[in-house]
């Protein structure tokens, strides 16, 4: 069943057609600041709390679902934060086609779709190609936070990050089930309330790792890239 599309009129919503050619998003925020990105913002609980705690950094929250963007915008409108904006856009398209190299101070991926069936795991967002794309998008010493709720996904990505020469682990172990001070999304709290752990990872881009052009990435299978906006 197709979900009803909700028109988003929030001043905190950035439409794809509003983007210029220079990939500079600072003009959409209250002031130019370092830019962080949350991929898959859901209904906006994490984005809102993180933006409140980090007023010196702008946060762009994206999701491919119209209703999630609408609910996140509603929270941003009520909070009147000038460092939180929302887009409906596929993550790999944003990173490779919109944002310039080294443009992000941090990237957050919380409770992504785990695609638990073995035949579907190639559909997972975070893989070797995605990590290479992050190296292009993250600035010097940029941070990557990955917090899956599915153990197999956590083990898979932890192994990739541990062996990747472009990232350094900021924790004492490949991942942890507690990360004090890290905002919890609605879905994180739901899993934790059921006694299911969240696997928190925090890695940092290694110094001296610079990529001038984005690596080739496959198009997102959920949405066509030319239909990822508010249409």
Q: What is the pLDDT of residues 164-184, one digit of tens each?
A: 999 999 999 999 999 999 999
> Per-residue pLDDT averaged across 132-154, rounded?
95
- Note if 113 is an active site residue: yes
From the list 63, 113, 159, 193, the catalytic residue is 113
Mean pLDDT lowest among 68-82, 113-127, 192-206: 113-127
Q: Residue 179: which H helix or E strand, with range?
A: none
Q: If you average pLDDT over every residue of the chain, what do you get?
A: 89
> Per-residue pLDDT averaged across 178-191, rounded?
93
User: What does each C-alpha distance from 166 to 14, 20, 135, 210 come to in angstroms?
Assistant: 31, 30, 7, 9
Q: Which residues touch 226 (CB under 8 Å, ≥6 apart)? A: none
Q: Domains of the chain (ranges plus CATH)?
A: 34-227 (3.40.50.150)
pLDDT tens, 147-168?
A: 999 999 999 999 999 999 999 9
Q: Confidence band (pLDDT; 50, 70, 90) for 7?
A: very high
Global confidence as pTM: 0.91
Cβ proximity of 199 and 173 under 8 Å? no
The HSE-up count of residue 167 (CA atoms within 13 Å, CB side) is: 31
CA distance 124 to 120: 8
Reply yes or no on whether the pLDDT at 199 is more than 60: yes
């Amino acid at each position: 069943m197709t979900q009803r599309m909700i028109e988003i009129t929030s001043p905190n919503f950035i439409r794809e057609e509003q983007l210029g050619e220079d990939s500079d998003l600072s003009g959409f925020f209250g002031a130019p600041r370092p830019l962080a990105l949350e991929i898959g913002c859901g209904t906006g609980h994490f984005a809102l709390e993180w933006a409140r705690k980090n007023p010196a950094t702008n946060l762009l929250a994206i999701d491919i679902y119209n209703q999630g963007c609408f609910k996140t915008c509603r929270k941003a409108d009520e909070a009147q934060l000038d460092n939180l904006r929302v887009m409906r856009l596929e993550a790999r398209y944003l990173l490779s086609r919109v944002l310039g190299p080294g443009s992000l101070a941090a990237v957050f991926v919380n409770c992504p779709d785990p695609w638990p069936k073995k035949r579907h795991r190639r559909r997972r967002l975070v893989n070797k190609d995605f990590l290479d794309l992050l190296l292009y998008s993250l600035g010097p010493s940029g941070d990557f936070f990955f917090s899956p709720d599915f153990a197999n996904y956590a083990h898979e990505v932890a192994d990739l990050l541990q062996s990747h020469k472009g990232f350094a682990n900021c924790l004492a172990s490949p991942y942890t089930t507690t990360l004090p001070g890290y905002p919890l999304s609605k879905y994180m709290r739901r899993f934790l309330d059921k006694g299911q752990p969240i696997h928190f990872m925090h890695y940092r881009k290694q110094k001296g790792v610079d990529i001038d052009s984005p690596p080739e990435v496959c198009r997102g299978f959920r949405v066509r890239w030319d239909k990822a906006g508010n249409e």
